[in-house]
Structure 1
Amino acid sequence: MLHAVIMAGGAGTRFWPASRADRPKQLLDLTGEGTMIQATACRLGDLMSPDRVLIVTNQRLVEPIQEQFPELPPSAIVGEPCKRDTAPCIGLAAMLVSRNDPDAIMVVMPSDHVISPESAFQSAVRYGASLVADAEDRIVTFGIQPKYAAETFGYIERGESLSSDPAAPPTFTVARFREKPKGDLAREYFESGQFYWNSGIFIWKAKTILDALQKYEPEMYAHLAAINDAWGTPQQAEVFDAEFAAIRGKSIDYAVMEHHQDVVVIEAPFLWDDVGNWQSLQRLNQPDADGNTVLANHLGVDTHESIIKADDDHLIVTLGMREVIVVHTHDATLVADKNREEEIREVVKQLQANGWDAHL
């Protein structure tokens, strides 16, 4: 059967001050249509019943996620004791899914993307699952057609075409996964027409990914197996804390994808946005006549090409502003040059260094 694993452990520091340790990006409503993680779960539609959805996050977020998903049993939300990247997260999820369904097929996806239309996503997942069902060791991923020479995404180099059904989206073998490129290399990837952005969405059999982790990351696999053996026993929490902390963190791309032989990329037939920073809101919301993206109670006088966001009815007034980001929360306000947005991460680091933990 098909199962969904939603990875929801990110910090979302580029969305400070709205994104905090107790309410990171995936728990925010950035589009006016519910929180990011709620939209991710809703996107699954009728692909599977709620009892086949597993959310993996960090321990600090288990309770707030449970509040957003009262229909899910507590066992459907797993809180990691520490951050160890995506490979251990996925490996643990595969083991937990396999306990009740050894033949499970998993669709694994981040919790903080915007994808539309939902029907196209669901059709693509069904198609990907059929490709996995047809080949025991196959791994399927989705590639996003690049819109520009991005330096912030990993890339997938496509190989031979596997498309035989004209009604199905273009499908290729994967020649290679590429790290985030810089400058000229990013432009080379973009102009070649042979590369996709890596969406971070995967489909595979639980057994396939576990066999791959056991082969390529035996030490990691051993720690995960110890956790799985103790799951549901009085020793679960103690073993989980100790064994997970002992894992050397690694992404699933490095741990498995760069080594596995049968990897297929489907050209995504849906619109995708990773919502990586505040400027993403410009793509997701209609700007006003002055080019401003406003999600707040706002009065703008001679204000242009700016992003204004507030969580409550606090009035924000801007005068003579151009290309700025203004974000107001109950205890912090950010005013930033839109073109220096990447430095928000440095702001968070300075808050940490200054011991201003209440604002993190």
Structure 2
Amino acid sequence: MSEIEGFWAVVPAGGSGTRLWPVSRATSPKFLHDLTGSGRTLIQATVDRLRPLAGQRVLVVTGARHVDAVARQVPELDSDHVLAEPSPRDSMAAIAWAAAVLEARDADAVLGSFAADHVIDGEAEFRAAVTEAVAVAREDYLVTIGIEPTHPSTGFGYIQAGRQLPGFATACRARQFVEKPDAERAATYLATGEFRWNAGMFVVRARVLLDLLQRWHPELAAGARALAAAPDRRDEIWPTLEKIAIDHAVAEPAADEGLVAVVPGSFGWDDIGDFRSLAELLPGDASNGVTTVGPGQVETVDSTGLVLTASDRTIALVGVEDVVVVETHDAILVTTTDRAQDVKKIVQRLGDRGRDALL
């Protein structure tokens, strides 16, 4: 598949991934790590995936403290293709800044926003979905790629698809975005066949996105455009930008007015939100029931779970089920897949105790 003319891939690379501590830290978040054992970090795999569609037109938005690490991991990026956020301001500010930069370069530019820390299985299906999404975006829709749900997840938001758009193979109008549901409601969603997971993948003309933002959050839109026009004022303008997610700022109100389209994604997708998610994503070892990532030696007796190691030391498991063991140079985490969401509480406790070196 050839590159899509006029298409820019925007890669927001933020967050600290507190549920994946101690691998993911504020200074070295999960997108800088190879969590799947593929030999490529998550951001490297993301850029690899987008190159066939965008070529050199890849723009990364990341924290100022991560710019050097991103440059080392993705050295083919031009220096002006990395935007450095002075502080976290949530997804809308990051994507709006990128959109304003692109609008200034090309009034007709179409951008696709794809998080740096997601895992995709099915490259051909992904490229096909993005290609159709770009075509729909050229009709001035805000387009989201909705993932075909494999189970009634309570960990993701959902998008309800309406009638199909004329002239397109699979695109439909998006009826509504809904927040993470409880188990009963998630099952109801799947039973209708109308709902898809919201993976936060948006494709839209840069100008259209900023004009939509201008309707509901005019100061944020104006700030993003001012930042693009005067990057030397970054430290002055950036702190004034509103903290809000793109879903709440633009996608939800635009869907209510029939301005959002959804293209179904039939590829496998995971945001690796915690160690349970990672354990389910990785293939297990049929011989001992434990999935291992890293150079360490793992010996098991009647045990199941996930082990991530940073050294070549031996880790032995005896009679434990669904355990998670994570070993780094300065910390060891032991939990279970059922309590994986609670790892963030350890990070909070360390912060409360002033143990910033571990964060």
Into which bin does the TM-score normalised by the smaller protein fall? over 0.9
Q: Which residue identity is paired with 2:291?
A: T
Alignment partner, residue 76 of structure 1: 81
Post-superposition offset of 1:163: 6.3
Superposition map of 1:164-179 within 5 A: 168=169, 170-179=170-179
Q: Take 1:204 and 1:82, find their aligned partners in 2: how far apart are those partners?
A: 25
Worse overlay, 222-231 or 319-328: 222-231
Alignment partner, residue 36 of structure 1: 42
Post-superposition offset of 1:90: 0.9
Per-residue displacement from partner, 1:199-252 (whole Å, max 9, x unpaired)? 111111011001111111111122223212212xxxx1xx21222111221111
Residue aligned with 1:43, SS:
helix
Q: Take 1:128 and 1:248, find their aligned partners in 2: how far apart are those partners?
A: 28
Residue aligned with 2:52, SS:
coil
Q: Take 2:74 and 2:108, find their aligned partners in 1: how far apart are those partners?
A: 27
Superposition map of 1:307-326 within 5 A: 307-326=306-325
Which of 65, 89, 94 lines up with 1:60 in the alignment?
65
Q: Take 1:185 and 1:40, find their aligned partners in 2: how far apart are those partners?
A: 32
Post-superposition offset of 1:359: 0.7
Between the two proteins, the alignment pairs up a number of residues equal to 348
Query: Would the aligned equivalents of 2:308 and 2:327 in 1 still touch at CA under 8 Å?
Result: yes
Residue aligned with 2:125, SS:
helix
Alignment partner, residue 143 of structure 1: 146
Post-superposition offset of 1:288: 1.4
Alignment partner, residue 215 of structure 2: 215
Alignment partner, residue 293 of structure 2: 295
Post-superposition offset of 1:41: 0.3
Post-superposition offset of 1:192: 2.3
Alignment partner, residue 339 of structure 1: 338
Alignment partner, residue 241 of structure 2: 247
- The runs of 5 or more residues in structure 2 that have no matched partner are 1-5
Question: Normalization by structure 1: what TM-score?
Answer: 0.93
- The runs of 5 or more residues in structure 1 that have no matched partner are none
Q: Which residue identity is paired with 1:91?
A: A
Q: Take 2:21 and 2:330, find their aligned partners in 1: how far apart are those partners?
A: 12
Per-residue displacement from partner, 1:17-74 (whole Å, max 9, x unpaired)? 0111111111110112210000000001321221x11000111111111111111122
Per-residue displacement from partner, 1:127-161 (whole Å, max 9, x unpaired)? 1111222x1x2111111122222221111011112
Superposition map of 1:52-201 within 5 A: 52-133=57-138, 135=139, 137-162=140-165, 168=169, 170-201=170-201
Query: Would the aligned equivalents of 1:81 and 1:241 in 2 still touch at CA under 8 Å?
Result: yes
Which of 231, 244, 268 lines up with 1:271 in the alignment?
268
Query: Would the aligned equivalents of 1:281 and 1:293 in 2 still touch at CA under 8 Å?
Result: no
Q: Take 1:195 and 1:283, find their aligned partners in 2: how far apart are those partners?
A: 22
Alignment partner, residue 330 of structure 1: 329
Q: Take 1:141 and 1:154, find their aligned partners in 2: how far apart are those partners?
A: 13
The ranges of structure 1 where at least 4 consecutive aligned residues each deviate by more than 6 angstroms after the TM superposition are: none
Q: Which residue identity is paired with 1:300?
A: E
Q: Take 1:73 and 1:246, find their aligned partners in 2: how far apart are those partners?
A: 27
Could you say what the CA RMSD is over the residues aligned between the two structures, in angstroms?
1.5
Q: Take 2:300 and 2:94, find their aligned partners in 1: how far apart are those partners?
A: 48
Question: Normalization by structure 2: what TM-score?
Answer: 0.93
Q: Take 2:297 and 2:167, find their aligned partners in 1: how far apart are those partners?
A: 53
Alignment partner, residue 253 of structure 2: 259
Q: Take 1:307 and 1:29, find their aligned partners in 2: how far apart are those partners?
A: 15
Q: Take 2:348 and 2:12, find their aligned partners in 1: how far apart are those partners?
A: 24
Query: Would the aligned equivalents of 2:92 and 2:249 in 1 still touch at CA under 8 Å?
Result: yes
Q: Percent identical across equivalent pairs?
A: 38
Post-superposition offset of 1:82: 1.3
Post-superposition offset of 1:164: 5.2
Query: Would the aligned equivalents of 1:15 and 1:25 in 2 still touch at CA under 8 Å?
Result: yes
Q: Which residue identity is paired with 1:98?
A: E
Q: Take 1:301 and 1:150, find their aligned partners in 2: how far apart are those partners?
A: 31
Per-residue displacement from partner, 1:265-306 (whole Å, max 9, x unpaired)? 111021111111112233332211243111142333324221
Query: Would the aligned equivalents of 2:15 and 2:26 in 1 still touch at CA under 8 Å?
Result: no
Residue aligned with 1:32, SS:
coil
Q: Take 2:147 and 2:166, find their aligned partners in 1: how far apart are those partners?
A: 17
